[in-house]
Homo-oligomer: A and B are copies of this chain.
């Protein structure tokens, strides 16, 4: 785990203190607040704060003076109804704030989701930690032959070991050069008094994309579900999936009814094109349809049959 003794103490300190509040709480989320859930070799996901629970969604949808509804089962039914009909604005009424440690190349994909708030640890202002993502050998996949932006079978042990050794050496060398550029040890003392300290904003430019950064990231529940729909998905890069899957579990603790509805109506449902729907209508009537008749391309037809567990 990537935490120093001081960081562990700071976290424990936060977890020990409790306050009295009149606000809605999520018991599931209170229990894991501030906890660092490990991700990849040096990263983590922590929940730093949250606003609202399942009941708050119903409360906002109804523009209530008091709570959501009288009965928990009513709340559940309404949440399913809202998500099923894409009435998404009430889900924007819940908010969550994460502290995340992640490699820069993951951060670069992540930040493309713009409807969120971010404070990143600044390499202009501070010195980055000596932590680099080195993949586990089983995740060193070859370039996929079917999907230009995916990875396929695992590399041979020999090739893997060779690549991992290069990654480790390059990381070590890059960080040594970083320190030389900064001309400053971990206590802030000058290393070589004959030399200047290169500006931090420049010293960092030689560091590789697998170095870790960290940020606070705050988002509403609707936009978080959109993020999870795309990133807790097999088409996303493996390394961001790791984070997204941890966050999906956190959503389950936070708003269990919403999680259930999200899995039912989004994550594990399916979408069909106009041609796909027309083919489906014939098939359920017992008529046969070929790829050519369907109007679908071969690739579409393959995906269509896979979605339905049909033979090609």
Contact = CB atoms under 8 A, between A and B. Distances in A.
A141 to B, nearest CB: 5
A180 B167 CA distance: 12
A130 interface: no
Interface residues of A, number: 134
Given A10-B66, A18-B20, A20-B19, A170 B177 contact: yes
Copies in the complex: 4
A219 B38 CA distance: 31
Interface of A: 3, 6-7, 9-11, 13-15, 17-25, 30, 33-34, 48-52, 56, 59-61, 63-67, 84, 86, 89-90, 92-93, 95, 97, 99, 103-105, 107-108, 111-112, 114-115, 117-125, 133, 135, 140-144, 148-153, 155-156, 159, 163, 166-167, 170, 173-174, 177, 180-182, 195-202, 204-210, 214-216, 218, 220, 230, 237, 263-265, 267-277, 280-281, 283-285, 300, 307-310
A120 B214 CA distance: 22
A144 B230 CA distance: 37
A263 B269 contact: no
A300 B209 CA distance: 38
A206 B209 contact: yes
Contacts of A180: 166
A230 to B, nearest CB: 8
Given A173-B170, A272-B269, A52 B52 contact: no
A206 B200 contact: no
B273 A66 contact: no
B273 A206 contact: no
27 contacts: A3-B65, A11-B65, A14-B22, A17-B22, A18-B20, A18-B21, A20-B21, A21-B25, A23-B49, A84-B300, A86-B230, A117-B220, A125-B149, A140-B202, A142-B198, A143-B200, A149-B200, A150-B201, A159-B195, A163-B198, A166-B177, A174-B208, A205-B210, A263-B274, A264-B274, A269-B277, A271-B271
